[in-house]
Amino acid sequence: MKRILVTGGSGFLGSHLCDQLLAEGNEVLCVDNYFTGRRENIAHLLQHPRFEAMRHDVTFPLFVEVDQIYNLACPASPVHYQFDPVQTTKTSVIGAINMLGLAKRIKARILQASTSEVYGDPEVHPQAEDYWGRVNPIGIRSCYDEGKRCAETLFFDYHRQHRLDIKVMRIFNTYGPRMHPNDGRVVSNFIVQALSGDDITIYGDGSQTRSFCYVDDLISGMVALMKSRDDFTGPVNIGNPGEFTMLELAEKVLKQVGGTSKITFRPLPQDDPKQRQPDISLAKSELGWEPRVALEDGLQETIAYFRSLLNA
């Protein structure tokens, strides 16, 4: 049994990670400032004897004793991270410094939840970990993209300078139960619009692609990385290489939800990537990991969650 700190633990991914870590017999300290995380996501854990929840903002130092740290704290959808872009950058950069400082002091292994957004609007397809990316440093998405890139820099400098035990994963689009209904992400957008009987909004012409990883697969990859051999730091892509256009995704959602929603088109936002697909060769070879849940099956679970949430 380990005592494990999860920052951003009441968020979409963090709450599922807490579930998994508890199921493996660990003690879990969930830290969140509830900016995008929701207590509803961890309500079922609050009475668990090995679970503790703490309200805390990672931009301030934290003094606890744990064996491992999963650093997930940061708003991850454009609607939320663009609401207060300065705070988003602070959360990624100062939050990383604080968690790395904690890990250094207590000699804990620390995992950084980075993102496929470090690749920006890529010129290489699919994206492998040795691609440095194409990111606009002054655009409206930069607070998140560059914040996460700087966090990776800090992790590797702490590793080189202080021999800190680090793991860095780059998360590609993930979906599933407990997504925030108003997070502006494409899967939740399409499902909520379809369940509400509204038209489904596609930005651009619908030809841009994304790869969608079901949350259970993502969490299994995250835990596998934390447990990987000491000399493997990453970064490693964790995502589903199945690639779908926005139009294909909208049609799949409509087929499962039914109803009378139609598809409408609006202009593409600034710096929105045209393609996104992970090369997961490294995850396969180093972690023995690959996703198992097909998009249709994952959508079925996610739609059922939103249907109960919206009473639709």
Positions marked active-site: 144
Strands 51-55 and 200-203: unpaired
68's CB contacts (< 8 A; 6+ apart) are 2, 3, 4, 5, 108, 109, 110, 111, 226
Strands 174-175 and 213-214: parallel
**Encoded tokens for 278:** 């992970």
Crossing angle of the two packed helices 186-195 and 295-310, in degrees rounded to 10:
50
Task: Specify the residue for token string 């909004």.
Answer: 201
- Where are the strands (E) in 27-178, listed by range? 27-32, 51-55, 68-71, 109-115, 166-171, 174-175
Nearest to 74 by CA among 52, 98, 53: 98
State residue 64 phi and psi, 5-degree precision: -140, 170
Strands 68-71 and 3-7: parallel
Whole-angstrom distance, CA of residue 140 vs CA of residue 88: 12
